[in-house]
Amino acid sequence: MRRSKLAVRTAALTTLLLAGAVPAWHFFHRSAPVVATPQAAVSPSRLPLYQWTVGEERTYHFVWNDLQRIAFTVPGGEELQRFDGVMNLDGELTLQALEVRENGARLRLALKRLSRHEVTFSGQSLLPDAASLQEHLPESASAWLELNGQGALVGVRYSDAEPPMFRQFTQSLAAELFPTELRDATEWTAVESTHLGQVEANFQFQDDRARLSRRRTRYQSLRAASHVPAFQQKLSSLTQFDRDPDGFLAAVSLNEILDATHTDGRPLLSRRVRLRLTFSTRQQKPLPPSTEAKSIVRAPSQLVFEGDEERALATSQAAGMTVDLMLEALASANDPAAVGDTGTFARRAIAALKLEPHRTGELGALFKRPGVAPAMRELMLDLLAGAGHAEAQAALRELIVSKEAREHPGAHAMMVQRAGFFREPEPETGRLLARMNAEARASGDVGTERASAYALGAVVSHLPAGSPEAVEFLRPLEDALIQADSPEALEHSLRALGNSGAERVMDLASPHLRDASPTVRAAAASALRTAPQEAATGMLLEALSSETERAVQAVYLDALNGRTLGGAELERLSVWVISGGLAVGAEAPLLNVLTVRMDDSDAVLRMLQALSMRPGQQPATRARVMALMAQASASRGG
């Protein structure tokens, strides 16, 4: 049974919201301030980078323009989603020295008189007016910057009173205004841990030590792409830290352009940032009360998401979509294509349903309107499956058994399968599918029987192994396999059972790897793809060694590609390929197996060499083989 192309997937943004370094703050302690003389002497050393006078508040004008775009491939690997963040801030920044110690300093940072405050994420304005500015970036909020004896930033402190957005913005700002790695040398190279990732940088003092230049040369890792093992990048970055003749901070200028892509060229992350800080005025001010405390401490590189993560994610994905707008679009369309880009619409509509779950029933009412096209009803069920909450599951259960859903016998089976798309299915969803399966079998409704079995297997895959519900819902699938009386019935029973990923699958499916029917053998191989036991891999390799049908070989190889293959398994596969077991036309599935296992394995290289000498290959296949061989040769040093 085919799965809908509109099956909803939630974008993987957790890395954006929660990625970051673990702070190490045990060495921080409150010490009594050491008051410096107003005219502190400048050290003959290059460090500390800046001088500070206790109580003096220095005001700077700053302009901060930051554009970031992050691309994610959602689970399933079919759809690329892009998330844009734009920030333009223009105003004043104050730095007051609260403590000056031999081993460092503590500064109080505040934002004042922001004449420009444009902040948007995925099209949503976060600071649209003066009221929101006062709520999120109030002038009364402050951060404490902890500097070490060299003048490098080692931490930022906050209290519970500071709004989350203020914490996030000033933490990122401080990490750009103060280096995190300093040395008393003319020039040096270091790896900085920033909020964006680990980056290699070259530092150099210039103009008689009045200016420190930092050129970032290569990001070793990106926090927003922690799931990507390797990436390509183009980076242009220059920061200049200027100090006046007395050693005080005079100006900071930062320009950085980063374009990171996957190794195949797909977009990953891009950033354009421009930051300017210039000295304005200074004055002596009283220190804050000694009772003031900042108990929240963060490393410069630590990225923290504060608030309701799921709601923030849904808000960003909705990008302005509301349930009202969703219903209006669905009511006025007679075909999914009429709502625009269906993938984008579905993602935004699902997010709107997550934000207003109490309105889910209104979608059900729209589903039941007379004359609604089957494809539109399938789209509505896709939205419910994507929302996934209790209200959505209850609505979907009601709709797939409704008379309106049954108006279209051919489409009804597709609608029933949507019940298997929930990532966290409720037990009642599984029980409904089990009842539908039993009733369909008794009445001879083959389409509903198979659709409910496929969905039931998917429900089991999301339940704890061995739980009472998993055992209960697996039983009708096992019974169907035992009672199957034709190759077609066996094929569908095996595929439904394979959806469950249960341990029982290996024992039940493996005997059918030797079935006389090619379609049954292929279905048995597909079922073993997700079997949890390692022994299933050996069973697939053993059956593949005697399989001659090209289409079935392709299914075996696809199943093996989804499993862990060590050196012994690759060696065994290599013997089969070199001996001529691979059918003509099955090269592509084998190359899929080898492409993700280019790990200097001799067995992989031998298989590629064998494929390079096969006659009669398609030009595209041969080109792919030669490219992989070149890659393997390069990884071995030529």
The domain limits of the chain are 1-17+306-424, 55-304, 551-638
Cα 589 to Cα 545: distance, rounded to the nearest angstrom: 15
Q: How confident is the model at residue 453 (pLDDT cuts 50, 70, 90)?
A: very high
Q: How confident is the model at residue 121 (pLDDT cuts 50, 70, 90)?
A: confident
Cα 527 to Cα 481: distance, rounded to the nearest angstrom: 12
Name which residue leads in pLDDT, 122 or 179.
179
Longest CA pairwise span in the chain (Å): 96
How large is the average pLDDT for residues 56-63? 97
* Residue-level pLDDT at 21: 28
Q: Which of 501, 535, 160 is nearest to 513 (CA)?
A: 535
* Residue-level pLDDT at 307: 55
How large is the average pLDDT for residues 589-595? 92
pLDDT at 28 over 70: no
Q: What is the pTM of this model?
A: 0.61
* Residue-level pLDDT at 195: 80
Q: What is the dihedral of CA 566, 570, 573, 574, to 10 degrees?
A: -170
Q: Which of 53, 43, 115 is nearest to 249 (CA)?
A: 53
Contact criterion met (CB below 8 Å) for 214 and 241: yes
Q: How confident is the model at residue 17 (pLDDT cuts 50, 70, 90)?
A: very low
User: How would you label 487-502 residue by residue, b for 16+ Cβ within 10 Å and e otherwise?
Assistant: bebbbbbbbbbbbbbb
Q: What are phi and psi of 199, to 5 degrees?
A: -135, 135
Most confident of the following: 26-30, 168-172, 291-295: 168-172
* Residue-level pLDDT at 123: 73
Contact criterion met (CB below 8 Å) for 343 and 56: no
Q: Which of 193, 201, 195 is nearest to 218 (CA)?
A: 201
Cα 202 to Cα 49: distance, rounded to the nearest angstrom: 16
Cα 524 to Cα 514: distance, rounded to the nearest angstrom: 9
* Residue-level pLDDT at 351: 92
Contact criterion met (CB below 8 Å) for 539 and 510: yes
Per-residue pLDDT tens over the stretch 350-389? 999 999 999 999 999 999 999 999 999 999 999 999 999 9
Fold classification of 55-304 (topology level) = Lipovitellin-phosvitin complex; beta-sheet shell regions (2.30.230)
* Residue-level pLDDT at 5: 37
Q: How confident is the model at residue 469 (pLDDT cuts 50, 70, 90)?
A: very high
Q: CB-based contacts of 47: which residues, under 8 Å, 6+ apart?
A: 149, 150, 151, 182, 183, 184
How large is the average pLDDT for residues 471-483? 94
Q: How confident is the model at residue 90 (pLDDT cuts 50, 70, 90)?
A: very high
* Residue-level pLDDT at 37: 36
Cα 459 to Cα 492: distance, rounded to the nearest angstrom: 17
Cα 129 to Cα 551: distance, rounded to the nearest angstrom: 62
Q: What are phi and psi of 238, to 5 degrees?
A: -145, 125
pLDDT at 513 over 60: yes
Q: How confident is the model at residue 224 (pLDDT cuts 50, 70, 90)?
A: confident
Mean pLDDT rounded to a whole number for the chain: 87
* Residue-level pLDDT at 39: 38
pLDDT at 404 over 50: yes
Q: How confident is the model at residue 72 (pLDDT cuts 50, 70, 90)?
A: low
Per-residue pLDDT tens over the stretch 232-258? 899 999 999 999 999 999 999 999 999
Cα dist. 450→440, 458, 465, 481 in Å?
A: 9, 13, 23, 12
Cα 417 to Cα 179: distance, rounded to the nearest angstrom: 55
Q: Which of 294, 250, 291, 258 is nearest to 274 (CA)?
A: 258
* Residue-level pLDDT at 75: 40
Contact criterion met (CB below 8 Å) for 47 and 150: yes
DSSP-H helix ranges across 179-232:
none
Q: How confident is the model at residue 587 (pLDDT cuts 50, 70, 90)?
A: very high
DSSP string over 94-148: EEEEEEEETTEEEEEEEEEEEEEEEEEETTEES--SHHHHHHHS-TT--EEEEEE
Percentage of the chain lying above the pLDDT 90 cut: 70
Q: How confident is the model at residue 194 (pLDDT cuts 50, 70, 90)?
A: confident
Q: How confident is the model at residue 124 (pLDDT cuts 50, 70, 90)?
A: confident
How large is the average pLDDT for residues 201-213? 91
pLDDT at 617 over 90: no
| Other Cβ atoms within 10 Å of 619 Cβ, number | 7
Percentage of the chain lying above the pLDDT 70 cut: 89
Per-residue pLDDT tens over the stretch 487-497? 999 999 999 99
Name the least confident of 94-98, 225-229, 362-366, 496-500. Answer: 225-229
* Residue-level pLDDT at 303: 63
Name the least confident of 59-68, 582-591, 597-606. Answer: 597-606
Name the least confident of 303-307, 318-322, 390-394. Answer: 303-307
pLDDT at 598 over 90: no
pLDDT at 607 over 70: yes
* Residue-level pLDDT at 126: 87
* Secondary structure in 3-state letters for 437-482: HHHHHHHCCHHHHHHHHHHHHHHHHCCCCCCHHHHHHHHHHHHHHH
* Residue-level pLDDT at 83: 75
* Residue-level pLDDT at 230: 81
Q: How many CA atoms lie within 13 A of 351 on its CB side?
A: 22
Q: CB-based contacts of 379: which residues, under 8 Å, 6+ apart?
A: 6, 330, 336, 339, 342, 346
Contact criterion met (CB below 8 Å) for 261 and 234: no
Q: Bridge-partner residues for 144, per DSSP?
A: 108, 157
pLDDT at 502 over 60: yes
* Residue-level pLDDT at 608: 93
